[in-house]
Amino acid sequence: METDSVELKEKILAGVDELPPMPDVVVKANALLADPDSSPSELAVVLETDQSIATKVLKMANSSFFGMSGRVSSIKHAALVLGYANLSQIILVTGMQKALNRKLPGYGLESEELWRHSLSVALGSKIIAGRRNSELEMVAHTAGLVHDVGKIILDPFVLEKKETFETFLLQEQQTYLHAEQEILGFDHAEIAAEVCSKWSIPETISGAIRYHHNPSDSLEVELAFILHLADYVSLMSGEGYEDEDYLYQLEAGTLDYLDFNQNDISDLTFELMEAVSNLLDTPD
């Protein structure tokens, strides 16, 4: 069985190459954002070569989340009034939207479910990092956005064994995570960590993603605990996967490690609900 699991994992990882890479314009824009000598004008020139990306960036820049509703008129203007850090966050989100906004029939997810949950965990991770360790805010946001990308790779294989998965889920009353581990021999978090390598995402992020369901196994990687709590709070806020939200458990010791309590969970849940609404529920 173990040999079969290894062979299946190798076959699945071969499919990582089929995932779309980050759009070229996003890669170039992020390179400019990382260059202290770059200018808003240079950034505008790059982004405006892709009108689809540029339009999404402007729409998000004008969302209630950034407090600039209807006042950001151009990419150059966005860079000036929002700052490079916020603009970098917006560009990453718009770049990832195409990859994440898809149906996953194996998991029974509609096109927006993975996307909204991923964005919610990204925002939640940033909020938690801001309270715990502000230096991790942007890294936490990136990690949250891609934490479940392994499900995209696993989906056709889950769909192929759909009946086996459904039987396990019904009889064992467990989550898809446990079903993956039992039926496939590995889970989507392991696969997501591999996807990070394809997208040249730093190892600090891939390691946290690998253990975001069981952060105590990460040898106290702070980002893994942040992701785990953000994942949980996202589910509590209504941006989870409906069929298994009630089964998801916060790992013992997570709140103590992050120095949070149950009252903080309630506050985080409402804050996250408002943040997601402000960022996404913007009129066209």
Q: Do residues 92 and 115 share a domain?
A: no
Determine what percent of the chain is predicted with pLDDT higher than 90.
44
Q: Do residues 157 and 37 share a domain?
A: no
86-100 tens-digit pLDDT: 888 888 888 888 788
Q: Do residues 92 and 212 share a domain?
A: no
Q: Do residues 36 and 138 share a domain?
A: no
- Asked if residue 4 is part of any domain, the answer here is no
| Cα distance between residue 257 and residue 252, in whole Å | 10
Domain count across the chain: 2
C-alpha 79: how far from its chain's center? 24
Q: 61, 82, 100 — which closes off a domain?
A: 100
209-248 tens-digit pLDDT: 999 999 999 988 999 999 999 999 999 998 987 666 667 8
Long-range pairs for 86-90 at CB < 8 Å and ≥24 separation? 87/33, 87/43, 87/57, 87/61, 88/30, 88/33, 88/138, 89/126, 89/138, 89/141, 90/57, 90/60, 90/61
Q: 100, 125, 154 — which closes off a domain?
A: 100
| Cα distance between residue 225 and residue 125, in whole Å | 10
**pTM higher than 0.85 for the full model?**
yes
Q: Do residues 134 and 244 share a domain?
A: yes
Which pLDDT band, with edges at 50, 70 and 90, does 42 fall under?
A: confident
- Asked if residue 138 is part of any domain, the answer here is yes
Mean pLDDT in residue range 6-34: 76
Q: 100, 119, 140 — which closes off a domain?
A: 100
The region of weakest confidence among 83-87, 110-114, 215-219, 280-284 is 280-284
